Amino acid sequence: MVKQTHFGYQQVAPAEKTARVREVFDSVADRYDVMNDLMSLGLHRLWKRFALAASAVRAGAHVLDLAAGTGDITRALAQRVGDEGLVYSTDINARMLGAGRRRLIDSGIVRNVRFVQCNAESLPFARRSFDAVTIAFGLRNVTYKDRALEAMFDVLRPGGQLLVLEFSTLRVPWLQPLYDRYSFSVLPWLGKTVAADEASYRYLAESIRVHPDQETLLAMLRSAGFERCDCLNLSAGVAALHRGYKL
């Protein structure tokens, strides 16, 4: 029997999920930043700023930014590491990676950034290459999350830090009905109206619900070898920042 995995609420073969996630992000790439602002009411910018402030990234560091998308985390990291550092901006989706590359070039950020199309489950980098690894709102779309976390651990140097910023499980029960209505009514409507793609945004809402909750993801980080793991809930758990270290 072929092993199944989640694609939103559907059960599909792993290879099919990878292909369908690629189709989703091919579809949403051109309107991705506008939709992020609309869907999160701008909160995603504050969450990313918080994650960067909580990181140990300093001047001269080498950082891997996975599922970098249109490059907002990459840009902030490049500014932090400076000319003596280096940031690898990666994504499995060529269209998203190209959009990020264009944005960074337009911003004049070129010298300390490299762009690589790759799958987070099988990273094309040498062991112990990076001082930090970041992945923001990308882990829930990875087919084999355990493999990806192990790959991230492998490419970190001793003392290196992993930061996973992701939608998570709401911690305020009385808000759940309102949050569900927003997720499954408003978000698909925004997708249809603004991006002409209702189905992709319905998938994105569903993908949040089947993503591991805070405690489960913490356990996954520990199983991959990370130590001193913690979780910081943002906006009542709508998003969460998970951190772990390779000691």
Residue-wise pLDDT tens digits, 106-130: 999 999 999 999 999 999 999 999 9
State the first-to-last Cα distance of the chain, in angstroms, to the nearest integer: 39
Q: Give Dmax over CA atoms of the chain in angstroms.
A: 52
For residue range 170-229, list pLDDT tens digits in order.
999 999 999 999 999 998 998 899 888 888 889 988 999 999 999 999 999 999 999 999
Say how many C-beta atoms besides its own lie within 10 A of residue 30's C-beta: 13
208: tokens are 């949040």
The residue ranges of DSSP E strands in 171-234, in sequence order, are 227-234
Name the helix (H) or strand (E) containing 237.
Answer: none
pLDDT at 1 over 50: no
- Sorted by where each starts, the structural domains of the chain and their CATH numbers stand as 5-245 (3.40.50.150)
pLDDT at 157 over 70: yes
Residue 196 burial by Cβ neighbours in a 10 Å radius (0-12, 13-18, 19+): exposed
Phi-psi region of 219 (alpha: psi -120 to 50; beta: other; left: phi over 0): alpha
pLDDT value for 102:
94
pLDDT value for 185:
93
* Mean pLDDT computed over 11-19: 88
Contact 28, 195 (CB under 8 A): yes
The model carries a pTM of 0.95
pLDDT value for 25:
85
β-pair partners for 236: none
The DSSP letter of residue 51 is H
Average pLDDT, the chain: 93
